[in-house]
């Protein structure tokens, strides 16, 4: 068992080395720039009648929508970082999840801008109300993430005991499994989306929501990974406060996953409830830890 965990550690250090992370970061930057330029070219090509789409293409109606593409590429990089950070701690991983869902909201705003109608009552038009919900949600979530990270930074760093090192090695094994799953899911989502476009032209089937493509599948897989890590944690800790904290963070991931199946105000409320729940769980955990250290209080 020890040799296997050592293998996971060495493999993780090679695949997720600082050198490889910098390469992926540079690749993400260039792909984002190229994607932005290509999206702009397609928008103006359609505007000047150089081609016609056989499906509804709101993302090709307004130049502002071109920001949607680089944001999508950056989000893939953020999910890669989530996999890198997963072995560090539950708290760090769930913080990265909150950041990812906030970026998804921002990306959706850029994608929905062409749907806005300024000539009608804002409270009567669905797209306009959705913009208000998304803008308000981003501001509140941004502030809640700030509070969450502020509380996370107050958690004292502990020395790695032998048991804790084995736990970290086990979580690194989960990250190593998640990486090819991320790659496969990304490719599958692109193929699925392209095939859906052809299905629209042939059968008239409804086009899947582009904002939830890939993320539905990935967050489902992430929930399973979180549950697996939670079960592993039972082997390395018996402290009630830690077990409840980790279980609460799994619930946060589930709430985020549920948000992809909804829209409008319900979508925003589910995301907000995830971040608020995570923040409350963290504060209660810190209070319990402080009381355990100072029983006389």
| Domain ranges (residues) in the chain | 13-292
| pLDDT for residue 295 | 53
Alpha helices in the chain (DSSP H): 2-15, 18-47, 68-85, 90-112, 126-152, 162-203, 215-236, 240-259, 264-293
The predicted model gives 251-276 an average pLDDT of 90
Of 147, 153, 145, the residue nearest 105 (C-alpha): 145
**pTM, entire model:** 0.85
The predicted model gives 175-192 an average pLDDT of 86
Confidence at 243, pLDDT banded by 50, 70, 90: confident
User: Would the pLDDT of 38 be above 70?
Assistant: yes
Strand segments, DSSP code E, in the chain are none
Confidence at 54, pLDDT banded by 50, 70, 90: low
- Mean pLDDT over all residues of the chain? 84
User: Would the pLDDT of 50 be above 90?
Assistant: no
| pLDDT for residue 98 | 93
């Amino acid at each position: 068992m020890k040799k296997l965990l050592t293998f996971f550690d060495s493999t993780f250090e090679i695949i997720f080395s600082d050198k490889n992370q910098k390469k992926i970061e540079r690749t993400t930057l260039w792909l984002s720039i190229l994607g932005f330029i290509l999206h702009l070219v397609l928008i103006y090509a359609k505007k000047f009648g150089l081609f016609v789409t056989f499906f509804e293409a709101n993302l090709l109606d307004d130049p502002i929508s071109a920001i949607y593409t680089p944001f999508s590429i950056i989000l893939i990089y953020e999910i890669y970082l989530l996999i890198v950070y997963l072995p560090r701690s539950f708290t760090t991983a769930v913080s990265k999840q909150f950041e990812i869902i906030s970026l998804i909201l921002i990306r959706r705003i850029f994608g929905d801008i062409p749907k806005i109608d300024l000539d009608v009552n804002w409270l009567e038009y669905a797209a306009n109300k959705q913009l208000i919900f998304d803008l308000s949600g981003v501001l509140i979530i941004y502030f809640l993430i700030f509070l969450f990270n502020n509380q996370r930074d107050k958690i004292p760093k502990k020395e790695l005991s032998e048991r804790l090192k084995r736990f970290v090695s086990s979580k690194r094994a989960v990250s190593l499994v998640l990486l090819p799953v991320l790659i496969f899911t990304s490719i599958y989502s692109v193929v699925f989306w392209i095939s859906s476009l052809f299905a629209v032209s042939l059968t008239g089937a409804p086009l899947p929501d582009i904002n939830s493509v890939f993320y539905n599948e990935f967050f489902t897989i992430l929930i399973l990974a979180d549950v697996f890590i939670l079960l592993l944690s039972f082997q390395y800790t018996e402290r009630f406060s830690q077990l409840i904290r980790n279980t609460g963070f799994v619930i946060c991931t589930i709430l985020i996953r549920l948000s992809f199946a909804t829209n409008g105000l319900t979508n925003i409320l589910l995301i907000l409830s995830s971040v608020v729940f995570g923040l409350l769980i963290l504060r209660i955990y810190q209070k319990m830890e402080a009381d355990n250290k100072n029983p006389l209080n």
